[in-house]
Structure 1
Amino acid sequence: MILEELKALLRRLALEKVPRVEELVDSFMRSGLSYEVLGNGWCGEPIYMFRGGRGAKKLLLIGFVDPDEPIGALALQVLATHVFNLEPSLLDKYTWYIIPIADPCGAKLNENWFRNPYNLKLYILERFKLKVVDWKLPGSCNSYVFDEPTPEALAVKRAVDRAVPDLVAPLHNNDFSGLYFFLSKSIPGLIRDLKSFAYELGIPVHRGEPEASYLKVFEEGFYHEPTLCDEYRRCVEYSPGPEACIEGLGETVYGYARSVNSRVFSIVCETPYIYSRVLEDTSPSGNRLRDLYLDMIGSVAPIASYVKSVVEKILPHVDKRCPYLWEAEEYIAGWSTRLEALKRRVVMDRRYEREASRAEEFDILVVKGLWNPLLRLGVALRLLSRCEVDTPSTDTGELLEVFEKLYAELQRYPIENLPLEKQVVMQLYTVLLAAKYLY
């Protein structure tokens, strides 16, 4: 029954903007769910967890795991304010623990584009991304120990400890790909039903390379959810500087939840924010996967080196409290090193010898070769324009020229936005269907 209700809900939803953090919190406060404060984010904003229901199976749902990914929070808002009213039996079958905004401070820095979410250039220039939840919880692998969790990760840790969930769902969305999922284990019936609903909504499943190419693939668009140890092993095996690769690496939400309840099931639905139909084309491209990657790395590496040199000149002079500095340290400082590690893996791994599909070709040359560098140029431009420096500011003119050149090239390709309401309904269906498979 809930499937038909979600389809009807999709017809009624018309989401033209993303609410501000205060508006989202206010809607949950009026939902009738009980709540507690788990802690505070890096800027002092409270992190709330709402609770409802009385069922034996316990679900922990987390929105704004990354601050630039609002779809999860929108889905949780619809769940709390609409779906529970449409289907009150959900409150009898399950106990719901909901963190709508795990990173309220970072989310607030994205509000400049929330009011105009379909403006692509605005999104790139205003999108703030800093990982403070996933990969930041306490954990260990072999002799490596991470025990410096962020305030946001500590808040999520407290939620896991309180709930001891049977299902944990960090609600993400990606920015440019097809639809894909991370699951802690393969459940064929669940995968089949998710693919069927995605097809009905017209959301194509991802056919390019997975987000992290070392992941176990259950089937196209469905991957095994990684943990700290998976990333640790990748760093040790492929990175030219494993210590730098591992530095600051913590546990994921699923990895920590598994330490609390070894039988916990985790699912992540990554709906695409923007998309191209070329990513559905499985016909052969005529090019080897390895050659495409090496071409992409060859074109991006000089940009990465240039951006890094610009950023490094001002890093010692930037106010250390500026969040755009933290963002640059995460995404610019190690950019060249990550490209070197990718090149090493591509050269060493025989899986890259096969012919690429046109979808994979587009994913490598356009998404990884144009889109990702544009996002990092946006990081550098925000750092230079918004952080206080104790030296004359660096001219952003040349950086802007590089940005505009890449952006003009990106505009040559067929790109479209996936409507917010479709993403929200896909996220809701994923959570509700996964909950059903707990029984």
Structure 2
Amino acid sequence: MDRYPTVADVAESARRLVSRFPGTCRLRRIGTSRAGRPISMLSVGHGPRHVLVVAGPHPDEPAGGATGIALAQRVARGDRLSAATDPSLVTWDVVLCLDPDGAALSEGLAEATAGAAPDGRSGPTLESYYRTAFRPVAAEQPEWAPIESRQLPESQALFRVIDELRPFLQCSLHNVEAGGTWVQLTRALPGLAAPFQASAAEIGIPVQHGTFDALYWENPSPGVHVLPPPDSTDRLAAGSAEIGLSTWCAPLRYGGVTAIVEVPLWATDMADDPSPHPDAARVLSDLAGLVRDGGRQVTALLDKARGFLPPARDSPRRRVLEWMADGLYDLVAESWTPLARQAAEASGDGDPRRLSTAQLCALDVVARRQPLRAAGLLLRLLEQSDDAAAPGLHRELDELFTAWCTDFERALGLRWVPVSSQVEHQARTVVAAAESALRIVR
């Protein structure tokens, strides 16, 4: 496997499984997207307990569809190496793509990231990725929209399935552009850490020690983060105080747990370096400047193009650009102010306020990716415009974009993770989570 499957590829693979295992596999439509696209779910097995796997929650994170099919194939073949994959004991329900509208706007991503060498030393570039990837505003992301007080049909479809199946485990399949692999849990799974870490080591993917998404969560083991109690809002990232309203937390009301499984597209050895950084406060200041400066440069070009771009109400890409320009870059930078203050006050290597190289690496990824996401979207809008000013603005932005991508790859020493490795590790982690969760509920 040297490329990600498209939504159509995943759907076709699901149909073939139903044809091959008609007594074991079923395919049904569980909802309809805002644009009228089907949201389908493949169920494998007839066990009384359910594992719910959610692929495609973010359209710029493409490995989940392949992972979902790989898991379905394993269960359909009757893999009884563990109770969790025994189809007579556990039914596996795979949502093939939760955000098909977003996936349509990331059309071309599979082709842009295809053709990596088997050894992973060469392959796609950040340029090819950011030129095609699309990520909607937070209020249009199905898992996150309820936090933003939006009731999307995609979110409602997932809530209905959770209420119907009452899964003991929900696994949400994600990618991060660069870094290492980690898992976020809504409740502790004590048996997960060892097989998760063993899989990463065997496949050659670094474990992310500290991550931007769960910077203040409980961290019982490297790469494993557990959501703090609902009343610990000071330990949540900016903008996530109402995380209990998300689809991630819905299985909790039935005693279930959610595992968000993150796998990198590009890896860096800095991700698993837990050594204290000698100058964290300065690095945080530099990163805050990086995200602000990049954001200002993209926004300045957006200002020049606003008069001829499609209106935000008609263009999801334009909506993202306006959302990012409206304070997102500053929000990201300002969220690191407490960390910088703590780092400056830290006295020695044993001081818990010291930030590690891995933690700063995770924040470095965030600082660099925000302007790149915006630049990729604006480049596509400029390419589609027939206004006389568009080519000149495109050339100016393209020069910035290329320089930023090159600097990103060099600064973090990025290496491509083959698609097959991403999928194998993600699938192994999901099975390990299911085995651990099943021991708790049995």
Q: What TM-score do the two structures reach when normalised by structure 1?
A: 0.82
CA distance in 2, matches of 1:311, 1:422: 38
Contact kept? 2:217, 2:235, Cα under 8 Å: no
Q: TM-score, normalised by structure 2?
A: 0.81
Which residue number corresponds to residue 70 of structure 1? 62
In structure 1, stretches of 5+ residues that fail to align are 1-14, 140-145, 240-244
Identity, % of aligned positions: 24
2:250 pairs with 1:256:
yes
Distance 2:276 2:228 in 1: 29
**How do 1:282-301 and structure 2 match up within 5 A?**
282-287=274-279, 289-301=280-292
Partner in structure 2 of residue 25 of structure 1: 11
Partners of 2:359 and 2:223 in 1: how far apart?
A: 13
Change in Cα spacing, 1:427 to 1:330, as seen in structure 2 (3 Å) is farther
Deviations 1:42-80 (A, max 9, x none): 322110122232212111111001111121110111222
Answer yes or no: is the 8 Å Cα contact 2:295–2:370 preserved in 1: no
Match in the other structure for 2:49: 57
Match of 1:171 among 155, 170, 173: 173
* Residues 1:135 and 2:144 aligned together: yes
Amino acid at match of 1:258: L
Q: For the structure 1 residues 363 and 352, does the alpha-carbon distance in structure 2 shift closer, same or farther, using more than 3 Å as the test? A: farther
- Higher alpha-carbon deviation: 341-350 or 168-177: 341-350
Q: Which moved more, 1:99-108 or 1:193-202?
A: 193-202
Query: Contact (CA 8 Å) 1:63, 1:170: kept in 2 or not?
Result: yes
On the 8 A contact 2:249/2:258 being kept in 1, the answer is no
Answer yes or no: is the 8 Å Cα contact 1:56–1:93 preserved in 2: yes
Name the CA distance, whole Å, in 2 between partners of 1:247 and 1:324.
26
- Report the Cα distance in structure 2 between the residues aligned to 1:216 and 1:279, rounded to whole angstroms: 18
Which amino acid is 1:115 matched to?
E
Hey, what's the Cα distance between the residues in 1 that align with 2:316 and 2:63? 23
Q: Secondary structure at the match of 2:2?
A: coil
Aligned twin of 1:303: 294
Q: How does 1:36-435 map to 2 (within 5 A)?
A: 36-87=28-79, 90-117=86-113, 118-120=123-125, 121-130=127-136, 131=138, 132-137=141-146, 147-225=149-227, 251-259=245-253, 261=254, 263-287=255-279, 289-312=280-303, 314-315=305-306, 318-319=310-311, 320-347=313-340, 349=342, 353=346, 354-365=353-364, 367-386=365-384, 393=390, 395-413=393-411, 414-435=413-434
Amino acid at match of 1:124: Y
Q: 1:115 to 1:229 in 2, by over 3 A?
A: farther
SS in 1 for 2:198: helix
Q: Structure 2 unaligned runs (5+)?
A: 19-24, 114-122, 347-352
How many residues are paired up? Answer: 405
Residues 1:69 and 1:300: Cα distance change in structure 2 (over 3 Å): closer
8 Å CA contact 2:216, 2:235 repeated in 1: no
C-alpha change, 1:219 and 1:329, in structure 2 (3 Å) is farther
For residues 169 and 63 of structure 1, the distance between their equivalents in structure 2, rounded to whole angstroms, comes to: 9
Distance 1:226 1:401, change over 3 A: farther
Letter in 1 for 2:71: L
Alpha-carbon RMSD: 3.1
CA positional deviation for 1:230 = 6.8
- Deviates further, 104-113 or 223-232: 223-232
Q: How far apart, in 1, do the equivalents of 2:33 and 2:431 lie?
A: 29
Instruction: State the secondary structure of the residue aligned to 1:91.
Output: coil
